[in-house]
């Protein structure tokens, strides 16, 4: 077969023209990706410049504190989302609130115990701070004048007045009573009369864990969603400022309230970003999950029952007193038993105990007597005679193959912990073994009778 020279020439020319096409396409893709990166970089806000502080040591001390708090962030990245330029805190002042408020003049101790403490319901308390000196004395000017030697005065207040961070540092001072220059703050407030019993007080001030704080919260600071440890309840009193709260019942999944699976690339889960980004997505994706929200105003106290998830955002600069480690009375705690009889039986059965242990037990019993004597018998009975209910009721089982169902399925099918299965009482194990043997013997007898009948 002969070749056609003209056809070969045309094919060669066409090939020479088509050859650069893949390279041109690759170059176009590279240019497009570069353009996208440039557009993304242009749309990503740049961090705000570091503010100028009044004191020359403030910058270095704040940088050091930031590194200890968030070692994964450079100090210049603390304002990369530019929340200081947004109106989110101002908009949060007008959220729809669904947490009840009660007033001191309308609420007795027994009412509070029966309606809120025993059932475990969060509530805002109004009127309990009307006579606190802290409402007038805790201002920047007064704190500077009255506590000149306190370390937080020079540096943290300087930071508070000039900071532009997305989620600023939050000051928690738990050793107020241990320092001569700050112990005077304890005279500016009193424990509300609806919180008379604290089981941790039984062990004495030297043994109990930290339980009260003097807090200074700059605007946009806060705490991420969490549960207070050791099954403790908390009350928080705001003397100045506004705080946004979000609370979830104890039966809510940790995975849901944390919302880690709802964070988009480039986002963070600091308090302001949790309220701004994650909380709306939780409401949208899990509409059956109850969320309780409120804005706590100056002069109000919020009561957070044990095991309730909660997150907090400071909407303006503010001061507060927080007692986050008081333990409420439960009927199952044995706190309502006769202490005198318990003391005599315990001392007779522990004759071999050391004198130090006996002294410690005696101190505990004395504190129990003092605690029981601090409230009326009627209020004491309310702890044990009130009907205990769960609020809100447990959520209905979610529909199959939904995000909520996938999160709760593993918990519903989870077996008891190994130690609970292995540490069953011998009597229970023997009873189970005997019942199993009886069932096997009965099955064998029935099988034998059936075979005889057939033969």
pLDDT in tens, the chain (455 residues): 444 444 454 444 444 444 445 566 667 766 776 666 665 555 567 888 889 888 888 899 999 988 988 888 888 899 999 999 999 999 999 999 999 999 999 999 889 988 998 889 999 999 999 988 887 877 777 777 776 666 655 688 888 888 999 999 888 776 666 666 667 777 777 888 888 766 666 666 666 666 677 788 899 999 999 998 877 888 999 988 899 999 999 999 999 999 999 999 989 889 999 999 999 999 999 999 999 999 999 999 999 998 999 999 999 988 766 665 455 544 333 333 333 333 333 333 444 445 665 665 666 566 666 665 666 677 666 655 555 444 444 343 344 444 444 444 444 444 444 444 444 444 545 555 667 777 778 887 887 777 777 66
Alpha carbon distance 309, 274 (integer Å): 14
Task: State residue 421's pLDDT score.
Answer: 40
pLDDT of residue 322: 62
Nearest to 197 by CA among 359, 346, 381, 341: 381
Eight-class DSSP state of 118: T
The neighbouring-strand residues paired with 321 are: 214, 237
Number of H helices, E strands in the chain: 17, 11
Closest CA relative to residue 213, chosen from 193, 187, 241, 185:
185
DSSP state for residue 289 in the 8-state scheme: S
Domains and CATH numbers, the chain: 58-329 (2.60.120.650)
DSSP state of 317: -
Give pLDDT, residue 332: 35
pLDDT attached to residue 297: 95
> 67-100 b/e with 16+ CB inside 10 Å = b?
eeebeeeebeebbbbebbeeeebeebeeeeeebe
Residue 103 pLDDT: 96
pLDDT of residue 97: 96
What is the rounded distance in angstroms from the CA atom of residue 238 to the CA atom of residue 153? Answer: 20
SS3 of residue 93 by DSSP: coil
Contacts with 253 (C-beta within 8 Å, 6 or more apart), sequence order: 407, 408, 411
The crossing angle, in degrees rounded to 10, of helices 58-69 and 151-162 is 80
Q: 123: which strand partners?
A: 303
The CA distance from 433 to 455, in Å, is: 33
- Looking up tokens 């500016």 gives 188
Neighbouring CB atoms inside 10 A of 259's CB total: 18
Residue 216 has a pLDDT of 83
| Other Cβ atoms closer than 10 A to 426 | 7
């Amino acid at each position: 077969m002969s070749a056609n020279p003209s056809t070969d020439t045309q094919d060669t020319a066409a090939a020479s023209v088509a050859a650069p096409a893949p390279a041109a396409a690759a170059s176009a893709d590279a240019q497009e990706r570069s353009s996208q990166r440039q557009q993304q970089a242009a749309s990503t806000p740049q961090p705000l410049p570091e503010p100028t502080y009044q004191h020359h040591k403030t910058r270095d001390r704040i940088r050091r504190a930031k590194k200890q708090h968030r070692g994964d962030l450079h100090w210049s990245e603390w304002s990369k989302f530019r929340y200081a330029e947004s109106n989110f805190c101002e908009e949060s002042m007008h959220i729809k609130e669904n947490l009840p408020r009660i007033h001191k003049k309308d609420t007795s101790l027994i009412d509070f115990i029966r309606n809120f403490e025993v059932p475990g319901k969060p509530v805002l308390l109004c009127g309990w701070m009307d006579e606190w000196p802290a409402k007038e004395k805790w201002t920047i000017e007064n704190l500077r004048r009255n506590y000149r030697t306190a370390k937080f005065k020079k540096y943290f207040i300087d930071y508070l007045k000039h900071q532009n961070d997305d989620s600023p540092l939050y000051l928690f001072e738990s050793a107020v009573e241990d320092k001569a220059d700050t112990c005077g703050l304890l005279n500016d407030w009193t424990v509300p009369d609806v919180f008379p019993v604290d089981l941790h007080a039984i062990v004495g001030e030297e043994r109990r864990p930290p339980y009260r704080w003097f807090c200074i919260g700059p605007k946009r600071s806060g705490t991420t969603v969490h549960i207070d440890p050791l099954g403790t309840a908390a009350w928080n009193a705001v003397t100045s400022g506004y705080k946004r709260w979000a609370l979830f019942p104890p039966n809510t999944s940790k995975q849901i309230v944390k919302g880690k699976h709802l964070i988009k690339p480039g986002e963070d889960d600091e308090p302001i970003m949790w309220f701004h980004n994650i909380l709306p997505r939780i409401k949208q994706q899990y509409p059956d999950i109850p969320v309780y929200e409120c804005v706590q105003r100056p002069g109000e106290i919020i009561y957070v029952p044990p095991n309730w998830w909660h997150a907090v955002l400071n909407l303006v600069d503010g001061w507060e007193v927080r007692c986050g480690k008081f333990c409420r009375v439960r009927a199952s705690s044995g706190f309502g038993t006769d202490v005198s009889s318990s003391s005599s039986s315990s001392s007779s059965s522990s004759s071999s105990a050391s004198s130090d242990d006996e002294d410690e037990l005696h101190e505990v019993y004395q504190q129990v007597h003092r605690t029981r004597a601090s409230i009326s018998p009627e209020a004491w009975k309310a702890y044990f005679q009130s009907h205990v209910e769960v609020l809100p009721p447990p959520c209905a089982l979610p529909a199959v193959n939904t995000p909520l169902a996938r999160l709760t399925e593993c918990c519903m099918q989870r077996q008891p912990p190994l130690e609970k299965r292995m540490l069953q009482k011998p009597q229970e194990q023997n009873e189970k073994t005997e019942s199993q043997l009886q069932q096997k013997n009965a099955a064998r007898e029935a099988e034998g009778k059936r075979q005889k009948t057939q033969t």
